[in-house]
A and B are shown apart, each in its own frame.
Chain A
Amino acid sequence: MASKSRWADTEEDAELVAKQKREKEEKKRLKAEKARKAAEEDQKRIAAAQAQQAQAEQQSQRSPNEPPTKRRRLTPDQDGGDKTEQKGGKDSEGGGSTGESSAKLLRFEAPTWKPTASVENYDKLNDIEEGTYGWVARAKELRSGKVVALKRLKLDESTGGGARAGLPETGLREIQILKDCSHRNIVGLHEVVINEAAATSQNANRKEPIESVFLVLEFVEHDLKSILEDMAEPFLASEVKTLLRQLGEGVAYLHAHWILHRDLKTSNLLLNNRGQLKIADFGMARYVGDPAPPKLTQLVVTLWYRSPELLLGASTYDASVDMWSVGCIFGELLAREPLLQGRNEVDALSKIFELCGVPTEETWPGFRRLPNARSLRLPSSSTAPAALTGSMIRAKFPLLTAAGCQLLNSLLSLDPRNRPSAADMLRHEYFRQDPKPKHEAIKAGQERRRRKETPNAPGRGQKAPASVDFSGIFAGREREERGGGFSLRMI
């Protein structure tokens, strides 16, 4: 064969190989002999032990140094047998057994599959929400008493032609992605269950259609949107930081695993009583490759969080659409209300340009080639005043530090290539500056109620950096479950 691999012999190798081969054979022979001898010896030893055993039993007395009879009888027997077997097995397998297979191999954890269980294993406690996002309820697992969230998958979805398309791929993708994810900032999926009739008919090998599919999710108490709406005062700067960092860590995990969320917004960010943020609702999410596949749907992301390139009809996009949403959420955490509340696509785009400036060929090269940009009527870059093309973010958030402003500005870059990746974002100066990100901490329901009665809520963000600092230092040493109060001041 003409093929020459890197491992092929050169002439000088041949001699060496031959030598090695001789040595190996010699070794093998010696080993076989040794094994045989060992086996013989073992046998002899066993025989001797047994004989001794019998003797000992007859005499029914033991010398004090000897271990108890039971052990003496069993151990050599097993050991000897196993050893010879192993050796014999290896040698009989033949071939150049190098005898160096002591390497530690990585063993993959292999899950299995089993029929889907029935929803009757759960006891519904109360509805959480019923609306555009489907039906979600709080429920208790009957077996363990664990409280979970049950999310019902919408099955009546139909495709453009009106013909039934079976189970919706969005729901199936959500299940698959959540199954593959395991991160503290991403909501956990325990299992998927179906209606009783379908579950039992599965086991009986009969036909019974699935009527409903439920996702059994980790139960998280709040969502960020309702917290923001109910708050009397905005988050402290340190609290914004810790929330944004957790969001960044979750998004970084998703992007590192080739997942685009495509619907990041405050109502999809859950917060538990310990201040842990969890990304939820993966109904829009999908796996992508690098480069991202062409012809992705543009109808993703809730309007207020949708990036300008999506609004302009880009069908090839990447993780930067999620980063735009992160920017919108950052602004919303600061302002307590959604940053860009467009009434429709056009309004959304004009609000974006109002805040971030009108794009020019310098700030966003090539944006005019996007499908919907043709109908766009913008002042030409040469005549446009600087005030129109400049960003208004600094003016809108006067209390934000320079670093924070810079981060928000970069997240809300019109040109998707200028937005930082989630990993870049986490390394940003903003998270290292004072006030340090406040540590997540226990915030039990009772404490919250007590706090509500107390008239003096903590001061505004940047007026109390010292106290914030302390909790940060504190938290560095403690585990997350402890530490000072995480004050989501709720009504």
Chain B
Amino acid sequence: MSHMTNPLATVEQLYGRSTLNALPPDLQDTIFLGMQSLTQAAGLLLRLPQSVTAQANVVLARYWVTISWPFVDEFSDISAASLFLVAKLSSHPAIPRDLCNVYAYLLSPLSPLFRPASEPSLPSKPDKTLYYLSEAGYNETYARVLALESRILCALSFDTHVALPHGLAVTYLKALDFLDVSPPARLAQRVVAYLNTALLSPQLLYLTHQPSALAVAAIYNAAKDLDAKMPECAWWEVFDVDREELGFLVVGMRSVEGAVRAGREETSAELREGNMITRAGIETEMRKRGMVLGKGASSGGAAAQLTEEDILMRSLDERADQMDS
């Protein structure tokens, strides 16, 4: 059964991050979207199969719900560590130097990944020193990735199992005779596109639903998009998905595109350093919104205590970072 099922997030994990001292939800979504897009881009540049990258996306999402503000690690490192870990366990391991090079490039100002359409395009002769990673830089990055790898494993109690819905979806398409729909493979492509897009969903669909439900919802959406006629009956029940679940997922999957577009536009320049959102960027944004830690919760009680603890930890971290560098 393990090939068809995933561990799911608990209610506490999903709602745990909306407590008093958590980041505002829009910032959380922006960070998550940034990390997932970065992982996908890195997977492409490392020539990893999508099955590996997608698993890394899911592992990253699982780790994401276990951590909260203030974050100890840089977001890009979390992405790199997830990808490194999953690739290592697959039959397509990523060479550490390649991994660090790819992230150095993607985080450099030359990377087109997070560049808004409004900004000027790349210069014709890009300055390669902008993404050159020295030996020392490589060692540093790699050490951070390794440290994070073990932290991710600890947080997930060493369970790296991810069942992806893609294979199931193809089986379901076959069962529904949808693979013969003309033009061939168009429907299947659309289904896979929906499944891959759902990896970016701020609703964390892969943490709340089993692969069979994701596959059915993607097929439903794709068939609707292409006007392919579906069976009249409640065919999703054949695949053990109930109507309510399907309805939720259909809407959830369709909303990702809008969320991504909105996220891209909202990501102001201050949030980013180079291209990817950073911790420093988030801090600046928080300050701008007047939500600096400790300032917001001036009235006593548990909230204040929590934040005080956080500030202390934060300053310790900062000091440690300073000592490191």
Contact = CB atoms under 8 A, between A and B. Distances in A.
A105 B313 contact: no
Interface stretch (A50-58, A163-171, A320-328, A433-441): A163-171
* Complex A-B, nearest 9 residue pairs according to Cβ-Cβ distance, in ascending order: A1-B227, A6-B177, A110-B8, A8-B229, A106-B240, A166-B146, A192-B158, A7-B229, A180-B2
Contacts of A103: 234, 237
Contact of B13 (A2, A5, A112, A191): A112
B8 A112 contact: yes
Nearest to A258: B3
Contacts of A117: 157
A172 B146 contact: no
A362 interface: no
Interface string B260-300: 00000000000000000000000000000000000000000
Interface string A140-173: 0000000000000000000000011111010011
B186 interface: yes
Interface of A: 1-9, 17, 20, 93, 96-98, 100-101, 103, 105-117, 163-167, 169, 172-173, 175-176, 179-180, 191-192, 194, 198-199, 202, 204-207, 209-210, 213, 257, 293
Contacts of B234: 98, 100-101, 103
B237 A209 contact: no
Nearest to A102: B237
Nearest to B5: A108
B182 A108 contact: no
A5 B178 CA distance: 6
A111 B233 CA distance: 32
B67 interface: yes
Given A110-B5, A111-B159, A114-B157, 9 more contacts: A5-B230, A6-B180, A97-B243, A98-B233, A167-B150, A179-B159, A199-B154, A205-B313, A210-B150
B243 A3 contact: no
B215 to A, nearest CB: 13
A103 B146 CA distance: 48
A105 B240 contact: yes
A2 B8 CA distance: 39
B5 A109 contact: yes
B319 interface: no
Interface in B211-259: 212, 223, 226-234, 237, 240-243, 247
Classify chain B: how many residues form its interface, as a range: 35 or more
Contacts of A1: 226-228
B20 interface: no
A201 B7 CA distance: 24
A2 B187 CA distance: 12
Interface of B is mostly: loop
B17 interface: no
Contacts of B317: 206
B44 interface: no
A3 B160 contact: no
B101 to A, nearest CB: 15
B159 A113 contact: yes
Contact of B181 (A4, A9, A176): A4
Contact of B223 (A2, A5, A108): A5
Interface string B1-34: 1111111111001000000000000000000000
B193 interface: no
Given A116-B154, A172-B153, A175-B158, A4 B1 contact: no
Contacts of A109: 1, 5
Contacts of A96: 232
B66 A108 contact: no
Contacts of A167: 149-150, 153
Contacts of A191: 157
Contact of A205 (B67, B91, B186, B212): B67
A202 B88 CA distance: 23
Contacts of B178: 5-6
A103 B247 CA distance: 17
B176 interface: yes
A107 B149 CA distance: 32
Contacts of A173: 89
Nearest to B2: A180
A172 B152 CA distance: 13
A293 B90 CA distance: 11
Given A6-B177, A113-B159, A180-B161, A198 B154 contact: yes
A348 to B, nearest CB: 27
